Structure 1
C-alpha cells in the first residue's frame, strides 16, 4: 500500500539553503522534481518581499551546486525557477532520483526544510533513508502514514494529470473570488499548452462530479 512520509532537513544541508545567508526572510516551495540524465531538474517558487527576483537569480547562479537557474515567472513578490543540479552536489535530490520516491510537497526557510514524500512500493522509504544516510544527508523522519484507497491518486476517477492540474489551480488561487492567476500561467508551470490545461480541468471537473455529486443523487424516474 502506498505510504506518505514527512522528512525534515536543516536549512544549511540543502544546496538552496545557502540563499538564506543573504536573504534570511526568503522562502522556497519546490513545485516538481524531474529526473534528467545524470541530474534532476527541480522547479521551485521563491518568495522574498524584500528583494526583486533579479537579486535572487544572481544568488542562485552563483551556487556551485547548480548547473543553471532560470527565472520562468516573476509575479513581483515571488518567482518560479527551473534549476539543474550538479551531480556531485545533489544530496537529498540524488536519493529522491535513485529510489524513485515522489516529492508531493517540499518547502524551506531559514528554519529548515520539510519534504513530504510518497512511496508506492514496500521498503522504498527505508531505501530512501538508507541512501540519505550513506550520502551523509541528515534527514529526520517526522511522520509516516498509509494511503487509503480514497486517498490515492485514482480516487474520484481522476487521472494523475487531472489531479495535478486541479491541485495546482487550487494552490495558486485560480478558484479564489479575486483570481490571482490564469490558465496560461498555470499551463506554463506544467509545460503544456493552455488548451491542454483547460482540457485537464474540464475532464477533472467531470470526474469529480460524476464520482461525488452525481453518484449521491437518487436515480430519476
Structure 2
C-alpha cells in the first residue's frame, strides 16, 4: 500500500535548499518535477524575491547547468532548473525508491516536503538513508492515500485544487463567510457559476476518493 509522508528539514541539508538559496521573507515552491534523461528537472516559483540576486546565486552553484525563466507575473516568478543531481542525494534516493515529490516549499531556513512512496518498506529505506546521512528530518504526518488510482491530489484537478485551497484560505467556508463566490470568480477571472462548479466537483471527488472508500480494498 502506498504511503504519504509530510516532513520538514533544514534548508542547508537538502540539495534544492542549498542550490535555491533565498533570503528574508522570500518563499520558493517546487511546482513540478519533470524527469528528463534520468534527471529530475524542477520547475520552481519564487515569491517576494529579488529576481536578479536569486538568478545570480543559483547560476553560481557548481551543480547548476542552467536556470531558465519560464514566466513572471506580479511578485511571482517561475523557473526551470537544469542541474546535476548527485547519486547519493536525498532527491535521487527518493526517486530510486520509486518515491514521488508531491510538493516542496522552502524558506531561507526550512523546507517542507510531501512525499509518496509505493510501500511502507520504501519509506523505511528512505528513513534509514536520512538517519545514516545524519539529516535532521522532522516527520509531521504519515498517512495512506485512500484510493490507489486517485492520483497525488485524490483525483482533484489542478484548477479544482487551486480554487478549493484559495476558498478555504480566504474564509469561504468560515462562519460568517469572509468571501463570496463572485469575489472568488473575479480573482480567477471566471464566472460565478464556474467557481461554484469547481468547488462542487472538487469536494465531490475528494469525498468519493477518501470518505467513501472501503479501507479493505486498499
When residues 158 and 146 of structure 1 are mapped into structure 2, their CA distance, relative to the original with a 3 A threshold, is closer
- Contact 1:7/1:139 (CA < 8 Å) preserved in 2? no
More helix by share: 1
SS in 1 for 2:17: helix
- Contact 1:57/1:71 (CA < 8 Å) preserved in 2? no
TM-score (norm 2): 0.66
- Displacement of 1:147 after TM fit? 2.4
SS in 1 for 2:67: strand
How many residue pairs get aligned? The number is 187
When residues 177 and 148 of structure 1 are mapped into structure 2, their CA distance, relative to the original with a 3 A threshold, is closer
Aligned match for 1:166, one of 155, 160, 178: 160
- Contact 1:6/1:116 (CA < 8 Å) preserved in 2? yes
Structure 2 unmatched ranges of 5 or more: 168-180, 191-196, 209-218
- Contact 2:7/2:138 (CA < 8 Å) preserved in 1? yes
Aligned match for 1:145, one of 137, 142, 145: 142
- Mapped to 2, the partners of 1:74 and 1:61 lie a distance apart of 18
- 1:167-206 deviation line (CA, Å, top 9, x unaligned): 2455578x862644569xxxxxxxxxxxxxxxxx98x949
TM-score (norm 1): 0.65
SS in 1 for 2:106: strand
When residues 167 and 22 of structure 1 are mapped into structure 2, their CA distance, relative to the original with a 3 A threshold, is closer
- Displacement of 1:161 after TM fit? 7.1
- Mapped to 2, the partners of 1:158 and 1:138 lie a distance apart of 26
Structure 1 unmatched ranges of 5 or more: 184-200, 213-221
- Contact 1:65/1:89 (CA < 8 Å) preserved in 2? no
Question: Which residue is 1:30 aligned to?
Answer: 30
- Mapped to 1, the partners of 2:204 and 2:108 lie a distance apart of 38
Question: Which residue is 2:40 aligned to?
Answer: 40
Please give the root-mean-square deviation of Cα atoms over the aligned residues, in Å.
3.8
- Contact 1:35/1:97 (CA < 8 Å) preserved in 2? no
